[in-house]
Structure 1
Amino acid sequence: MARLTTAPAIVILGAGALDTARRIQSVYVQNSAAGAEHPAAPACQIHALQGRVEADVAYTELGAHLCDLYARGTPIIALCAAGIVIRCLAPMLSNKGVEPPVLAVAEDGSAVVPLLGGLAGVNVMAREIAAALAVTPAITTSGELRFGTCVLNPPDGYTLADIGQGKRFVSDLLAGESTRIEGHAPWLDDTRLPRSESARLAIRVTPCVWDGREDELVIHPRSVVAAVTAAAGADASSPSAKATQIAAHIRESLAAHRLAPLSLAALLASSAHTSDAALAEAAAILKVPLRLTQTRAEDGAPPASLLHAALRMPYDTLHDDPQKGVALALASLAIDPDTIGRARGRLTVIGLGPGSAELMVPAARTALNEATDILGYDTYVKMAGPLRADQRVHGTDNREEMQRARHAFELASEGRSVVMVSSGDPGVFAMAAAVLEALDDDASQHPAWSAVDLNIVPGVSAAMAAAAQAGAPLGHDFCMLSLSDNLKPWSIIEKRLRHAAEADLVMAFYNPISRARPWQLDKALDLVREVRSADTLVVLGRDIGRPGGTLRTLTLGELRSSDVDMRTMVIVGSSTTRKFGKGTQDGSEWVYTPRWYR
């Protein structure tokens, strides 16, 4: 089957299913570590109903959560009745060709039922899970039961020419017809397909375009590599226009040799043009990875020279058009793009949010799933888990920010996919600034760093998380201030505190106190009290989004430094910040700052 590139989500409702969920989770951890069925499968997480059981991810409503996972293409392993899953996902069902695998598993592990995703390997997943649970999977797919394989689900590196024709083809086989196999399809050797050399039907494995014949099931091996030089799209007016032109030239070359666009395995370019945005965009248009190769060829050299430098398997150069800057190479078997040159290095700086997995933005989790290397302060790296056994973890002390940033660029410039982990939002008193500072200061000495694909993914900052728990104390103008004088003089902090207090801004204090500077919070509060009244509301959020998190509302007059530690977010309200009771028995209150002044 095609390997999983999105982490499966194991969804449970209560503690009774947790043991089974852990057993299923171990299947993917072991496979990833062993490089077996899923050599690049991300570690899956257990999703549990909030308040019922502690798991990796908490959700509040099952139906909405299942629909969200399904919409994002996440494989779902739901430990509950199949009917529940069906009713939840029924409104989402439309295109069988793009649905992710969905399975229902009994809470006690006694039944494994594949529901959706036959073309995405759901039956293979069902067999793996059932084997781990020592039960027989309830596979109902006719072709799978009859032939011992899903003909419409070729292995990684191969793809169907037309899913509609594929369905008709399997229907004919189930009706009693036999088939012959043309081309190299070793994954079908041990199946129970009815075969005959004189059969009307044929399974044809070829990179050539399908001519529309209804008696053929055409499977394309991704065995073609397209190489481009600086000449490709050189006369375009913009990067996007250049990308479109490169993609068009490649499609024209494929068509000239009757090669199917689906047979394309990768786009290859010189590493000297790594930072050319048009190349990545062209690869995205063609839906293939961009690979880079180091070559000593001059700019005027033909594009075929890139293929000679990068490809390590026998191939035929079919087309070399230096004028268009395009060349094609065709191999006899499917090509693993990872064996061609190297990828463009990527560095993604993410924020984990305040600590709860459900408050981590999906883009951050995706970056973690795709990473080869993960860097960060040890505590934050542990919060980012679970991680795969094949991912390199580079945990460091919290004070080694610049060294960590430089190390990240060194790894990414080697073609690795690197994630830099921060808590909260990476751009708020966190690693995004350190990463950019390292690039700004050192790029001239390390030109390869500038070619790294750098992305910064926003996160939920601690101030935002604490404010949301309290209500909306940041509902009007506010500022965020770090009380740490490790990187700036205390005199600057005093000046900014005084101005913010006089401006009647709501203030969120980061790094409010520590054992190394126990006096600074009291000093800061003294400055604020010179301007603000004693009844100014203050919100203290400690470990918000983490187990044991607490929220407290008091006044500026009541606040003492002993109420605060380094893990506390301090939000000092403005003159208009107010509160009112929620009407609950525990006497809790909402705190908010109106959006107007009267």
Structure 2
Amino acid sequence: MRNVPAIVILGPASLATARRIQGLYPQAPVYGLQGRVAADIAYDDFGATLRELYQSGTPIVALCAAGIVIRSLAPVLADKEQEPPVLAVAEDGSAVVPLLGGLGGVNHIAREIAALFGIGAAITTAGELRFGTCLLNPPDGYVLADVDQGKRFVADLLAGQGVQVDGAAPWLAQARLPLRADAERRIRVTCAAAGGDEELLIHPRALLVALDGDSADLAARVRFVLAAQGLAPAALACLLAPRGAMTDRALADAAQTLGVPLRFAARQADEGAADWLLRQLPLEQVLEADGLLIGRAAQPIEVARLGQARGRLSVVGLGPGAAELMVPAVRRALDQAEDILGYETYVNMAGPLRPEQVRHCSDNREELQRARHAFELAAEGRRAVVVSSGDPGVFAMAAAVLEALEQSDDPAWHAVELEILPGVSAALATAALAGAPLGHDFCLLSLSDNLKPWAVIEQRLEHAGAADLVMAFYNPISRARPWQLGRALEIVAGHRRPETRVLLGRDIGRPGERLTSLTLGELRPEMVDMRTLVIVGSSTTRSFPRAGGGEWVYTPRWYP
């Protein structure tokens, strides 16, 4: 499956079935109707949610009547070649009906889910029922040259025409095709770009292009060389380059333009380009042109076994905890990761994770060791993710990762693709729940003296108080330092009136979240623990009653 599906349910009766399907696709979130069922992601409008998922290319497994799904998606149905798989599943798992996305593998997904429940999928695709395979959607490693021609070709076979098969394709040998030695129609499994009028071309991804020179205009050069050799671009499995070129941005751009993976392999200083390429995998043919080598294998190339990818290290912020408050880019990084590193509580928050994803849990005080371990994994070509709660750059792992990189002289570490992806911080989540207490100038302060002297903290509290900034306190109290919040409040009280608004956000965005609004004069250290974010307002921070109970707290944009 190319993308992780979304499992969409309407009520609690479907939840058990949805969780079983989620066991088959561990990263698939369960969407549940707000107020009716507790799921991974809540939604308010079923039809709008389905249409949004469909238009984003997300496979949909809807646990409801097929008619509801069809009516919901009808306004956005367009290009059959671009539609994601869409299935309807009975809420008790007694029926699995593929609806849309035949070219996206919907029947394959339907069979997987049906097997989970010990039933048969309701496959209605004529060609697949008759021939036992879908010629329009070849398995991984093969690609159909022309979908429209494929539709006409399958229609001819269904009408009684026979067919011959030229080329190696084990999956076709297992199909129930109407094979005839004298048939005019022919399925050709080939890397060649051109075919005859009565031929259906299926390209094995058996070509690779290796770089033996500079990377300027690489995508255009690859296309030109393939065309000059009569080879199909769709047969290209990957680009290959020496490991020393791992940080060359032009290589990554060319691979993205061509839509293929980019791999790297070590090359000896005195090693010829062709010898280097042949050392990586057996090839039937090697051609050289324009500083490029084109290798052709007998079967589709297993790209994952060729050299290594450029490793990626993503430092991500999970947000406060709720799945709907996680940034989409962070969810994508987690879905693509091979290794997840972090404090165990945060690693668990990163789910759902696949069974094969490796979890590396460590103590919350081992930031530098964790960062170094992450670089070691990424330098091997793996995709590693270091997780923090909130935002990784706010009293979290991003600074530790950069510190570890600056201290290292290992070129393999510096060749890693490093990205830092933001998250919703505890201060922002608490502020949003309360209203807009950070609506004017503010500062974030950690009251932990583990990495800085307490005298520095006191000095900063004095200056922030004198500057009349709204202050958000992280790490406000712990068993090892129960006195520090009390001392901080003494300093703040020297610059604020007792009626200054204060907010306490405990576990905001997680089960059992609690927001407390009070005044500075009412605040006592025993009201706060390590899981609490404290916001102390400025002289202009104000509050007013909220309809339905409670109050809104905000700091005006203006200043007197």
User: Normalising to structure 1: TM-score of the pair?
Assistant: 0.90
Q: Residue 65 of structure 1: CA displacement? A: 2.8
Which of 206, 223, 235 is the equivalent residue of 1:251?
223
C-alpha contact (below 8 Å) 1:478/1:505 kept by paired residues: yes
User: What is the SS of the residue equivalent to 1:433?
Assistant: helix
User: What is the SS of the residue equivalent to 2:97?
Assistant: strand
C-alpha contact (below 8 Å) 1:354/1:424 kept by paired residues: yes
Name the CA distance, whole Å, in 2 between partners of 1:88 and 1:507: 47
Letter in 1 for 2:236: L
**C-alpha deviations, 1:299-343, integer Å up to 9, x for none?**
xx65324312322x23311x223xx32111001111111111111
C-alpha contact (below 8 Å) 2:283/2:295 kept by paired residues: no
Paired position in structure 2 for 1:553: 517
Name the CA distance, whole Å, in 2 between partners of 1:59 and 1:484: 38
Q: Residue 130 of structure 1: CA displacement? A: 1.4
Paired position in structure 1 for 2:105: 121
Paired position in structure 1 for 2:211: 228
C-alpha contact (below 8 Å) 1:268/1:306 kept by paired residues: no
The answer as to 2:280 corresponding to 1:316 is no
C-alpha contact (below 8 Å) 1:539/1:554 kept by paired residues: yes
C-alpha contact (below 8 Å) 1:59/1:358 kept by paired residues: no
Q: Residue 261 of structure 1: CA displacement? A: 0.6
Q: Residue 155 of structure 1: CA displacement? A: 0.6
C-alpha contact (below 8 Å) 2:204/2:299 kept by paired residues: yes
Residues 46-445 of structure 1 mapped to structure 2, 5 A cutoff: 46-211=30-195, 213-229=196-212, 231-233=213-215, 242=216, 245-298=217-270, 302-311=272-281, 313-317=282-286, 319-321=287-289, 324-442=290-408, 444=409
The answer as to 2:460 corresponding to 1:496 is yes
Paired position in structure 2 for 1:461: 425
Letter in 1 for 2:479: R
**C-alpha deviations, 1:360-417, integer Å up to 9, x for none?**
1111111111111111111111111221121111100000000000010011111111
User: What is the SS of the residue equivalent to 2:544?
Assistant: strand
**Cα gap change, 1:305/1:94 in structure 2, threshold over 3 Å: closer, same or farther?**
farther
| CA RMSD between the two structures | 1.6
**Cα gap change, 1:64/1:580 in structure 2, threshold over 3 Å: closer, same or farther?**
farther
What runs of 5+ residues in structure 2 fail to find an aligned partner? none
Greater shift, 286-295 or 180-189, is seen at: 180-189
User: What is the SS of the residue equivalent to 2:122?
Assistant: coil
Paired position in structure 1 for 2:476: 512
C-alpha contact (below 8 Å) 2:327/2:423 kept by paired residues: yes
Paired position in structure 2 for 1:451: 415
Letter in 2 for 1:382: N
Name the CA distance, whole Å, in 1 between partners of 2:317 and 2:276: 38
Q: Residue 214 of structure 1: CA displacement? A: 4.0
Name the CA distance, whole Å, in 2 between partners of 1:499 and 1:483: 15
Paired position in structure 1 for 2:16: 19
Q: Residue 479 of structure 1: CA displacement? A: 1.3
Q: Residue 594 of structure 1: CA displacement? A: 1.8
The answer as to 2:537 corresponding to 1:569 is no
Name the CA distance, whole Å, in 2 between partners of 1:267 and 1:342: 11
Paired position in structure 1 for 2:550: 588
Q: Residue 232 of structure 1: CA displacement? A: 2.3
Paired position in structure 2 for 1:537: 501
Name the CA distance, whole Å, in 2 between partners of 1:159 and 1:408: 36
Letter in 1 for 2:288: D
**C-alpha deviations, 1:213-264, integer Å up to 9, x for none?**
44222111110010003x223xxxxxxxx3xx11111112211211111111
User: What is the SS of the residue equivalent to 2:503?
Assistant: strand
C-alpha contact (below 8 Å) 2:4/2:25 kept by paired residues: no
C-alpha contact (below 8 Å) 1:227/1:304 kept by paired residues: no
Letter in 2 for 1:185: A
Name the CA distance, whole Å, in 2 between partners of 1:486 and 1:98: 54
Name the CA distance, whole Å, in 1 between partners of 2:474 and 2:78: 48
Letter in 2 for 1:314: L
Q: Residue 68 of structure 1: CA displacement? A: 3.2
C-alpha contact (below 8 Å) 1:13/1:49 kept by paired residues: yes
C-alpha contact (below 8 Å) 1:293/1:309 kept by paired residues: no
C-alpha contact (below 8 Å) 2:85/2:100 kept by paired residues: yes
User: Normalising to structure 2: TM-score of the pair?
Assistant: 0.96
Q: Residue 495 of structure 1: CA displacement? A: 1.6
**C-alpha deviations, 1:166-202, integer Å up to 9, x for none?**
1222222223322221111221223232222222222
Letter in 2 for 1:106: A
Letter in 1 for 2:278: H
Letter in 2 for 1:306: W
**C-alpha deviations, 1:70-119, integer Å up to 9, x for none?**
23322211111222222332333222222221111111112211111111
Q: Residue 502 of structure 1: CA displacement? A: 1.8
Letter in 2 for 1:333: Q
Name the CA distance, whole Å, in 2 between partners of 1:210 and 1:465: 58
Q: Residue 52 of structure 1: CA displacement? A: 2.9
**C-alpha deviations, 1:409-458, integer Å up to 9, x for none?**
0111111111111111111111111000000111x2x1210000111111
Name the CA distance, whole Å, in 2 between partners of 1:418 and 1:71: 29
What runs of 5+ residues in structure 1 fail to find an aligned partner? 30-42, 234-241
**C-alpha deviations, 1:43-81, integer Å up to 9, x for none?**
323222233333333334333332333233222111112
Paired position in structure 2 for 1:236: none
User: What is the SS of the residue equivalent to 2:380?
Assistant: coil
Name the CA distance, whole Å, in 2 between partners of 1:62 and 1:303: 56
User: What is the SS of the residue equivalent to 1:546?
Assistant: coil
Name the CA distance, whole Å, in 2 between partners of 1:87 and 1:77: 15
C-alpha contact (below 8 Å) 1:482/1:510 kept by paired residues: yes
Greater shift, 189-198 or 289-298, is seen at: 189-198
Q: Residue 286 of structure 1: CA displacement? A: 1.0
Q: Residue 136 of structure 1: CA displacement? A: 2.9
Deviating above 4 A after TM superposition, structure 1's stretches of 4 or more consecutive aligned residues are none
